[in-house]
């Protein structure tokens, strides 16, 4: 069981550079386009840069609670992404600390 938690912790830590890259990509989009800090939501970012995930999001709406998905996808990317990166990194280090 501890090896499963170790894998989860390492995934949380290793995903941080990807999350920082997405945050910086979002900043670049707001500089280069008409989107603002608050208008570039998670859903708009996915629609702009990851077209192939739209069908997956529509499938998620059949399985998950719709207001929850509406809330998460409507969060501004430039606020949501750094918070998610910080918390996932901290959770990963916390799990590793608890295991040792």
pLDDT in tens, 41-89: 999 999 999 999 999 999 999 988 889 999 999 999 999 999 999 999 9
Tokens of 40: 């570039």
Cα separation of 90 and 6, whole Å?
14
Give alpha helix (H) positions in 41-76.
42-49, 54-63, 66-74
pTM listed for this prediction: 0.85
What mean pLDDT, rounded, does the chain reach?
A: 93
Q: Would you say residue 2 has pLDDT above 90? A: no
- Counting Cα atoms < 13 Å in the Cβ hemisphere of 18 gives 6
Q: Has residue 10 got a pLDDT over 90?
A: yes
Q: Output the pLDDT for position 65.
A: 86
CA-wise closest residue to 20 among 92, 91, 88: 88
| pLDDT band with cut points at 50, 70 and 90 for residue 1 | confident
């Amino acid at each position: 069981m501890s090896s499963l938690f170790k894998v989860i912790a390492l995934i949380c830590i290793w995903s941080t550079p990807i999350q920082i890259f997405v945050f910086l990509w979002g900043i670049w989009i707001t500089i280069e386009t008409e989107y603002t800090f608050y208008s570039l939501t998670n859903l708009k970012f996915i629609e702009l840069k990851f077209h192939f995930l739209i069908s997956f999001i529509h499938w998620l709406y059949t399985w998950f609670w719709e207001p929850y998905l509406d809330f998460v996808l409507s969060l501004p990317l430039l606020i949501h992404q750094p918070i998610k990166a910080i918390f996932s990194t901290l959770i990963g280090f916390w799990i590793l600390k608890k295991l040792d």
